[in-house]
Amino acid sequence: MLKSVFLKRALQVVLLGAVIFTFLAADQDARFQSIGHQLMCSCGCNQVLLECNHVGCPLSDGMRNELASYIQRGDSDNLVMQAFVQKYGPTVLLAPTTTGFNRLAWIMPFAVLGFGLAGIYFVVRAWRKRAAPLPAGSVPLAQGEELERYSEKVRKETEV
Amino acid sequence: MSQIGSFTLLLALALSAYSFLAGSLALFQKNRATDRLGETARRAGIATFAAVLLAAVVLVVAAFTNDFSIAYIYHHTNRDLPGPYKFAALWSGQEGSLLFWSLLLASYGLVLRLRHKTDTRLFAYASAIIAGVQVFFLLLLNFAAPPFGVMQGSLPADGTGLNPLLQYPEMVIHPPMLYLGYVGFTVPFAFALGALIMKYPGEKWIHITRRWTMVTWGFLTCGIFLGAHWAYSVLGWGGYWAWDPVENASLLPWLTGTAFLHSVMMQEKRGMLKVWNVWLIFTTFLLSILGTFLTRSGVVNSVHAFAQSSIGNWFLWFMAIVLAACLYFYWKNRSHLASEHKLESLVSRESSFLFNNLLFLVACFAVLWGTLFPILSEWVEGHKITVGPPFFNRVMIPIALLLILLTALGPLLAWRKTSLESIRRNFFWPAVGALAVAVFLMLMPARWGTPFGMKPWQEISSFYALMAIALSALVAFTVISEFVRGGRVIRRHTGRNLFSSMVQLGHRNTRRYGGYIVHFGVIVIVIGLSGAAFNQNKEMEMGFGDRMNIGPYSLVCRSYTQDDNPNYASEWAIIDVSKNGKPLTTMYPERRFYKASEQTSTIVANHSTLQEDLYLVYEGQNQDTGRPVIKVHLNPLVMWIWIGVWIIIVGTILALVPNAPAPVRVAAPVPARESEPEPIGAGN
């Protein structure tokens, strides 16, 4: 009886270990893919590290092995990136960091969008003031040539 | 041979300089004598085309006759190069591509000068401006990058061959398409500047240039996507767009050109945004020159390194001169562009175009900013950084999603004012449909493959992909509802069936419904792009009988072998593919070694379906075991991108077809009703 409980527990531990190992491996693979797509191959080919495919590249295989060993060691994403920057220089990172002057790279596109939206707001406000609607019934119905002129304008504006 | 070529280029320069100077003089000193001078300038412009064409023919003949005394032919061809690539050698290198650029500009100029009777004076201005641009390119060809430079020393027996990456059928048509787009923007630019200089009355110049712009836009769109398809098929890294500076350079004028195609409608219909439109087309032209500068100056790192040289400064000066001319004439004649802007409602077609232009311009700024930021960073911080795909994806995807949303909303809005009730009525069912699509994609099992079983709460890329597909569905439903609604109206009047009524509807307003088809093509492309969020890849050394699994596919290496021909030596693997246990196909990923250039190139094996691409790359051989290393990519939905491009081409062609006469006329005045009428511009 005791033996059977022990076996059961041992089996559970092995299964749990296998599950954890599988998840960790899957997690490590996902991190490898994720970080590997944020780094550039430093051989001068200007390709993403995990997409560098030119024959005889002197660096990409070594860099991928380094990445795999850092991840296996349990280094955080930030630590891995820093290690690569220290070894290969700041151009190894495929996107600007969010510190110092590099922050400007991220801010500017959205700042321009914000300024543009504000600009549209003010433009629309100014244009709407110029186009105050007339009260209904205050304008006599158009006839003859005038009607034809307005009809032409309507056709032009409504594309019918 | 080289002397004939050099002489014709010199002659072309003299002719275009005469066309520019005499044409300008004739326009600024108006009398009978200068009228004749203007006519000689026009004819000199036509003769420029003949001279440049002759120079291009000489270069092509030199390539076919293996005239290695010409340095360009030596560096870009070899005896065993297949005929089509010898022809493509014309645009495969720096000097040749500039000659090709000049030829295309001369061709556009020829068409314009032959059609001068449409509006003699406006066309004379445009002709003189095009001649000015032509002078710049011919100066480059004669003094900075001559294609007929002669080899020093003894005559080589064979050339060094064409870059193997360019030895692919699409490379024979990708550069011409792209250049037709780049160069083509010179024409609307010339008309816009000409109309500004002569204070051309009304909006007719926009009407004249609309087709030129649309044709140019179509070529640029085809050029960009052909480039993407070439990169996907040849470079072998499993993707089609890498946010490389040279790719970005082609996107910049496309974005502003697209904004222009939308905003000109504001000027045509309402007489608004005159200054904006003029500057938008000026900017588009300048950006196409900036793109060439970025490509050739080497100021930014690019995988297109073969195009780099020292002529970048010429482009910088040319841009400065063009910008100065634009600023001068704008300042001098700005009163001509004055227009009274009135907007009755924020909920109107007008405001949707404002937002549309803002988003296109912000997208253009973001691409330009990201492309140039490494230079700025080096200037400020003293060291370069890289701005690559992670930056562009994070910045551009939200902007693109907003644009797709606007694509769905815009057509539902009428000019001047749209009631909320009308929007609700027209928008409700498409919105329900889009929501249903999103829910369906999330609920269906993931085993059905991408895009089913999406979990947007797990990853941001999955969230973006779901949003992109749902918003694309929204656009599709609004486009369909627009066609159906319009078709029903015609069916009521004509008694035809609905399909035939919709065809007639499209024919009555080709620009509008052609535009909708273009929108439809765009969202099909967006669906294709969203598949990239679910890309997978694996790499493995595969000996005889080795197996690799990815997704539902199982790959078994049947054999690997080698071959040799005069142009290249090749190695390839024979891979049997089965899907869900059933035999599917056999694929042959290949790697070639080109003898003349001593460079290698990948020939990707791709099994493409609507759901996914199974993309096999022969990475190389393990030197120890001699076995091939195969990399397999499973890229969902890529085929949608290429289908979308075909739809865009169909839509653009439809938009270029003249309208059928519209029978609808307002018969008599109708008294105003209590309730608000349906907005006609909203598709009713």
User: What is the arithmetic mean of pLDDT over B88-96?
Assistant: 85
With a CB cutoff of 8 Å and minimum separation 6, the contacts of B413 are B347, B348, B349, B351, B352, B423, B679, B681, B682
For chain A positions 79-138, those within 8 Å of chain B (CB to CB) are 89-96, 100-102, 105-106, 108-110, 112-113, 116-117, 119-120, 123-124, 126-128, 130-131, 133, 136-137
Q: Is the pLDDT of residue B665 over 70?
A: no
SS3 state at B327: helix
β-bridge partners, B620: B629
Give CA–CA dist B662/B511, Å, rounded. 14
SS3 state at A101: helix
pLDDT digits 0-9 by tens, B144-185: 888 998 888 777 878 887 877 777 888 788 888 988 999 999
Of the residues A41, A46, A64, A103, the best mutation for testing chain B's interface (the one with the most B CB atoms within 10 Å of its CB) is A46
SS3 state at B153: coil
Give CA–CA dist A86/A71, Å, rounded. 17
Q: Chain A residues with CB inside 8 Å of B239's CB?
A: 51
- Return the structure tokens found at A85: 């920057």
H helical segments located in B311-348: 312-332
Q: What architecture does CATH give domain A2-95?
A: Orthogonal Bundle (1.10)
Using alpha carbons, list the distances in angstroms from residue A6 to A1, A15, A16, B337.
9, 14, 15, 90
Q: Is the pLDDT of residue A19 over 70?
A: no
B356: left (phi over 0), alpha (psi -120 to 50) or beta: alpha
Give CA–CA dist B332/A82, Å, rounded. 55
Mark yes or no for CB contact B416/A106 under 8 Å.
no
The pLDDT value given to residue B593: 85
For B239, the closest of A51, A124, A151 (CB atoms) is A51
Name the pLDDT band for A14 (thresholds 50, 70, 90): low
DSSP state of B408: H
SS3 state at B565: coil
B405 burial via Cβ count (<10 Å: 0-12, 13-18, 19+): middle
Give CA–CA dist B600/B582, Å, rounded. 35
DSSP state of B583: E
Selection from B27-36, B113-122, B450-459, B643-652 with the highest mean pLDDT:
B643-652
Bigger pLDDT: B142 vs B28 = B142
B632 touches chain A (CB under 8 A): no
The helix/strand count (H/E) of chain A reads as 5, 0
Query: For chain A, first and last CA: distance in Å?
Result: 89
The pLDDT value given to residue B345: 75
Q: Is the pLDDT of residue B612 over 70?
A: yes
Average pLDDT for chain B? 86
Q: Is the pLDDT of residue B675 over 50?
A: no
Over its C-alpha atoms, chain B yields an Rg (Å, rounded) of 28
Are B591 and A55 in contact by the 8 Å Cβ rule? The answer is yes
Give CA–CA dist A108/B95, Å, rounded. 37
The pLDDT value given to residue B367: 96
Short-list B289, B282, B284, CA closest to B311: B289
Are B679 and B563 in contact by the 8 Å Cβ rule? The answer is no
With a CB cutoff of 8 Å and minimum separation 6, the contacts of B607 are B577, B584, B585, B587, B613, B614, B615
- Number of Cβ within a 10 Å radius of residue B545: 10
Q: Chain B residues with CB inside 8 Å of A45's CB?
A: 303
User: What is the arithmetic mean of pLDDT over B520-527?
Assistant: 96
Q: Which amino acid is at B158?
A: D
Q: Chain B residues with CB inside 8 Å of A95's CB?
A: 386-388, 390-391, 394
Q: Is the pLDDT of residue B524 over 90?
A: yes
pLDDT digits 0-9 by tens, B359-418: 999 999 999 999 999 989 988 988 888 898 999 999 999 999 999 999 998 888 877 777
Give CA–CA dist B320/B318, Å, rounded. 5
The pLDDT value given to residue B668: 47
User: What is the arithmetic mean of pLDDT over B229-254?
Assistant: 89
Name the pLDDT band for A22 (thresholds 50, 70, 90): low
| B275/chain A closest Cα distance in angstroms | 14
Name the pLDDT band for B474 (thresholds 50, 70, 90): very high
* Helix H or strand E segment including B568: strand B568-579
| B503/chain A closest Cα distance in angstroms | 15
Whether the bond between B589 and the residue before it is cis, its omega within 30 degrees of 0, is no
Over its C-alpha atoms, chain A yields an Rg (Å, rounded) of 33
The pLDDT value given to residue B678: 41
φ, ψ of residue B582 in degrees (nearest 5): -100, 135
| A139/chain B closest Cα distance in angstroms | 11
β-bridge partners, B621: B628
Mark yes or no for CB contact A131/B342 under 8 Å.
yes
pLDDT digits 0-9 by tens, A55-114: 667 888 889 899 999 999 888 888 999 999 999 888 899 999 888 899 999 999 999 999
For A116, the closest of B344, B362, B373 (CB atoms) is B362
φ, ψ of residue B557 in degrees (nearest 5): -80, 110
Bigger pLDDT: A15 vs A119 = A119
Mark yes or no for CB contact B389/A124 under 8 Å.
no
Give CA–CA dist A39/A94, Å, rounded. 5
